[in-house]
Structure 1
Amino acid sequence: MTSRATRRPYGVKSAPYGFLLPAGVLFLLFFALPIGYALWLSLHKVEVEGLGLGRNARHEVWAGLSNYADALTDSELLHGALRILGYGAIVVPVMLGLALVFALMLDADRVRLTPVTRLAIFLPYAIPGVVAALLWGFLYLPDVSPFHFVLDRLGLPQPDLLDGGPLYLAMSNIAVWGGTGFNMIVIYTSLRAIPAEVYEAARLDGCSQLQIALRIKIPMVAPSLVLTAFFSIIATLQVFNEPTTLKPLTNALSTTWSPLMQVYQDAFVKGDIHSAAATAVIIAAVTLVLSFGFLRAANSRNRQEEAR
């Protein structure tokens, strides 16, 4: 007879699954099923018979990969992807560079009012992207912008930031202003986790603050830099709020300026949800490939440095 002390309580084996069940249900309902439904929509299309006025005149049929072929050969989608690459080439390096500089400055011993400064840098991240785009959009408008008023009083040229090449800088400024604080907090947290003994040993060896920052702090927060770059790349490829919000303020922005804007146009303006689903799947696949490639390159470089 098994003793009472060796008996396992009833339900102990199934308890972990019970705790995981709510998360699994939420993952299935709000992540897995929408992705599966988008894939299903992308493989179908709507056929219209006659004038399309009868009850059965419009019905879904199997389309295979034709929606993907149409999306990949669409010049508007290609131009939107090129615009996003140019936009990301400005946003990602500038935002991560400023976040690193601010984190290093806040981690310095001589900086005062660190909590207030940290909050001031992080605060723009708490402002919704649509609100931030509206605020900056009106600051860019020549008729209402205080910057243009000051430049006019000083007799200086007044550039139109919502037209031509400066448009990229104007939109990049919105993203950098809003995202630098979050990345700074991530890097700053990693800096605070570095043991104080490392800094003390470096000072005993005669290292200056600049040498400590370049040779100790930055290499030790490299994983945080990779993480923030990973998030920044994903956010850049999925930009939607800034161009959509600025669209009513300028004619330089088309309705398909970014790939996600084209997905919105196809789904809710043209009513072609199947083509929109195929474009969305392509954007997700490109984001996955680029993100995976970046992480793999970063990990390979770290392994090479460790091998040295």
Structure 2
Amino acid sequence: MTSTPSAAGPVPGRPVRVRRRGRGAPYWFLLPTLLLFAAFTVVPIGYAIWISLHKVEVQGAGLGSGARQEVWNGLANYTAVLQNSEFGHSVLRAFGYGLIVIPTMLGLALVFALMLDTPKLRAGSFSRLAIFLPYAVPGIIAALMWGFLYLPDVSPFYYVLRALDLPEPDLFSGGTLYLTFANIAVWGGTGFNMIVIYTALRAIPQEIYEAARIDGASDVKIALRIKIPIVLPSLVLTFFFSVIATLQVFTEPKALQPISNGISSTWSPLLAIYNAAFGTNDLYGASATAVVLAAATFLLSFALLRVSDRFTREDPA
């Protein structure tokens, strides 16, 4: 006489189905972030693309209701952006600014990180805080602070130059503007990049350094042959951030524009977009320019990432 399996127990020979509860819980946790991302990133980008394809058509004298209508303009705004020589010059100025800022800032950040990682360093905590502290200063405050230091009438540097009967440079005209803005960016951004590189250095096992010292390697050789190659991915990451920040330079020229006549309203790409949107009230052309700049930044970052990936990828062999 065979026994019938209980209704509550598993049936022999049949796979047991495990009921998984809470599979949708991670998506519920992600929902607030996704909603905020959609509301403050996806929707504004989509709206910018939408209005970049339109223009305002004025009928008659432009007075009365219905005299100004938003009509479809297609790609005409993008064509105007690509043919705008002022925008092209602003992009070239941004690249020239980046050629000064990026090597200087990342070079100093790497040197400071290597110095802080030496075992003989004293007052390391104070040194890290002192180097990182300028990054904690808001960009607009840093720009205004340096702007007053650049003014000949109130700057203590010009007072010293006059006392020593030395020439006084004009920091608000011509090619000197590149150094003027670059100094503010390097002063404020070196600390952040130093922390990124220093964190990567602290993750390196100390046994590697001990083995190198047993083999007779000095601190300089350890830095050049061990530390720098290992933290190369962190250098690449900071390089990408710096390139994007270079194309988006805005705070320095905008903050110093009221105290100098040598800074044009289209000195940088973002300044040109701001002037088109709020200076000439051309929101449609400004949106098209912003979309072009965003697409160029994305393509440039993607290309640099593909190129750097060939040098930072580990050889599987």
TM-score, with structure 2 as normaliser: 0.93
Residue 155 of structure 1 aligns to a residue in which SS? coil
> Is 1:13 the counterpart of 2:23 in the alignment?
yes
Match for 1:214 among 193, 211, 224? 224
| Aligned residue identity for 1:175 | A
Residue 144 of structure 1 aligns to a residue in which SS? coil
Q: Which runs of 5+ in 1 are unaligned?
A: none
Residues 184, 252 of structure 2: 8 Å contact kept: yes
TM-superposition CA deviations, 1:178-229 (whole Å, max 9, x none): 0000000000000000000000111111111100000000000001000100
> Is 1:197 the counterpart of 2:207 in the alignment?
yes
> Is 1:242 the counterpart of 2:217 in the alignment?
no
Match for 1:130 among 130, 140, 143? 140
Mapping of residues 1-308 of structure 1, within 5 Å: 1=7, 8=19, 12-303=22-313, 306=315
Residues 62, 68 of structure 2: 8 Å contact kept: yes
Distance 1:2 1:47, change over 3 A: farther
| Aligned residue identity for 1:26 | L
CA apart distance, 1:307: 6.8
| Aligned residue identity for 1:8 | R
| Aligned residue identity for 1:280 | A
Give RMSD over aligned pairs.
1.6
* Identical columns (%): 61
Residue 13 of structure 1 aligns to a residue in which SS? coil
Q: Which structure shows the bigger proportion of residues in helix conformation? A: 1
Bigger Rg, which one: 2
**Counterpart-to-counterpart distance in 2, 1:157 and 1:263:** 37
| Aligned residue identity for 1:106 | L
**Counterpart-to-counterpart distance in 2, 1:161 and 1:289:** 34
CA apart distance, 1:90: 0.3
**Counterpart-to-counterpart distance in 2, 1:167 and 1:18:** 50
CA apart distance, 1:302: 2.4
TM-superposition CA deviations, 1:19-46 (whole Å, max 9, x none): 1211111111111111111110111111
Residue 69 of structure 2 aligns to a residue in which SS? strand
| Aligned residue identity for 2:19 | R
Choose 264-273 or 189-198, whichever is displaced more: 264-273
Distance 1:2 1:35, change over 3 A: farther
**Counterpart-to-counterpart distance in 1, 2:101 and 2:8:** 67
Residue 57 of structure 2 aligns to a residue in which SS? strand
**Counterpart-to-counterpart distance in 1, 2:264 and 2:129:** 36
Q: Which runs of 5+ in 2 are unaligned?
A: 1-6, 11-15
Residue 306 of structure 1 aligns to a residue in which SS? coil
Residues 233, 312 of structure 2: 8 Å contact kept: no
**Counterpart-to-counterpart distance in 2, 1:47 and 1:2:** 74
Residue 46 of structure 1 aligns to a residue in which SS? strand
TM-superposition CA deviations, 1:275-308 (whole Å, max 9, x none): 11000001101111111111111101224x7379
TM-score, with structure 1 as normaliser: 0.96
Choose 160-169 or 106-115, whichever is displaced more: 160-169
**Counterpart-to-counterpart distance in 1, 2:159 and 2:258:** 22
**Counterpart-to-counterpart distance in 2, 1:3 and 1:103:** 63
**Counterpart-to-counterpart distance in 1, 2:122 and 2:9:** 66
CA apart distance, 1:270: 1.3
